[in-house]
Structure 1
Amino acid sequence: MAFQISQTFLNLPVKDLKRSIAFFEALGFAFNPQFTDDNAACLILSDTAFAMLLTESYFQTFIKKDIANATKTTEFIMAVSVSSKEEVQELVRKALASGGSASNEPQDHGFMYTESFQDPDGHLWEVFHMDPTYVHEA
């Protein structure tokens, strides 16, 4: 039996929760106030995908290992799909103008266009648009 995930929650440690909230609001994202307080903020990525921005001290309560310093090491790349190449460019432009930093050069593969940025804590975000006619059903 194959599992189907109904919702996705990515948990990210952040140094300054208010700064992180302001950064993602400047990009046009909203937060779910029901799951937002002084320790955490629920960033709404889509109807089924969320990023929980957790203060480092609160994040530490969920783990036994050290928190990775995302400005020096890469723990993952969060890839998010948008509906057009122009939306990719706009979201990355907003990220760079709001305190994010460049990550990689844009890549145009014909069927897929990507750009990326680092948020203020160094987490890597890749924004892409893929031609929906290219995707084949499995």
Structure 2
Amino acid sequence: MTKELWINLPVKDLHKSKEFFSKIGFSFDPRHQNSNDMAGMVVGDSKIMVMLFPESTFKNFTGNEIADTTQGTEVLFSIDAASREEVDEMVRKAVEAGGTSFNKVKEEKLQEKKPQDQSWMYGAGFADLDGHCWNILYMDVTKMPKV
């Protein structure tokens, strides 16, 4: 049976992506610290590995073109937060590091959109330097509506 999950993600500039994700609090597997061809970003207590690869390397793996994140969303990463404040803090850090609040409406001119608040679930998100979307959620299951 499967023991681990590795998510492979293409990036335009590996060093800038590592710097971006470090600034918002992610860590990296030391096995790849000196590599110019990959970086293993560790996510969460379960230590899910998101492998960052330069686009050319990723394209060689898949044999396909890289998705244009300005035209569509190829994936939405959702991660949990311990509080509403942590949601806001992570999005703030991402924007300060060069990302974009992905809760903006895509029109000719982007307009700010508030975080989503459903009383028991609070979320917001950002797009990283390559336009990949990250959704940050805080959930208070004690307030979750009963069905």
In the TM superposition, structure 1's runs of 4+ consecutive aligned residues that sit over 6 Å from their partners are none
Q: Is the 8 A contact 1:88 1:127 kept in 2?
A: yes
Flag structure 1 segments of 5+ consecutive residues without an equivalent.
none
Q: Is the 8 A contact 2:119 2:143 kept in 1?
A: no
Matched with 1:40 is 38
Pairs within 5 Å for 1:1-138: 6-36=3-33, 37-48=35-46, 49-104=48-103, 105=113, 106-133=115-142
Write the distance in 2 (CA, Å) between the matches of 1:41 and 1:72: 26
Q: How far has the Cα of 1:133 moved from its partner?
A: 2.7
**TM-superposition CA deviations, 1:66-93 (whole Å, max 9, x none):** 1112232210111111111111010000
Q: How many correspondences in the alignment?
A: 133
Q: How far has the Cα of 1:19 moved from its partner?
A: 0.4
Q: Is the 8 A contact 1:41 1:52 kept in 2?
A: yes
**TM-superposition CA deviations, 1:85-123 (whole Å, max 9, x none):** 111010000000110011113100111000011001000
Letter matched to residue 59 of structure 1: F
Q: How far has the Cα of 1:134 moved from its partner?
A: 5.1
For normalisation by structure 2, the TM-score amounts to 0.83
Q: RMSD of the alignment, in Å?
A: 1.9
1:28 is paired with a residue whose SS is coil
Aligned sequence identity (%): 40
Q: Is the 8 A contact 2:102 2:127 kept in 1?
A: yes
Write the distance in 2 (CA, Å) between the matches of 1:44 and 1:17: 15
Q: 1:90 to 1:40 in 2, by over 3 A?
A: same
Letter matched to residue 27 of structure 2: A
For normalisation by structure 1, the TM-score amounts to 0.88
Write the distance in 2 (CA, Å) between the matches of 1:47 and 1:129: 16
Q: How far has the Cα of 1:28 moved from its partner?
A: 1.5
Deviates more, 1:35-44 or 1:75-84: 35-44
Flag structure 2 segments of 5+ consecutive residues without an equivalent.
104-112
Q: Is the 8 A contact 1:71 1:123 kept in 2?
A: no
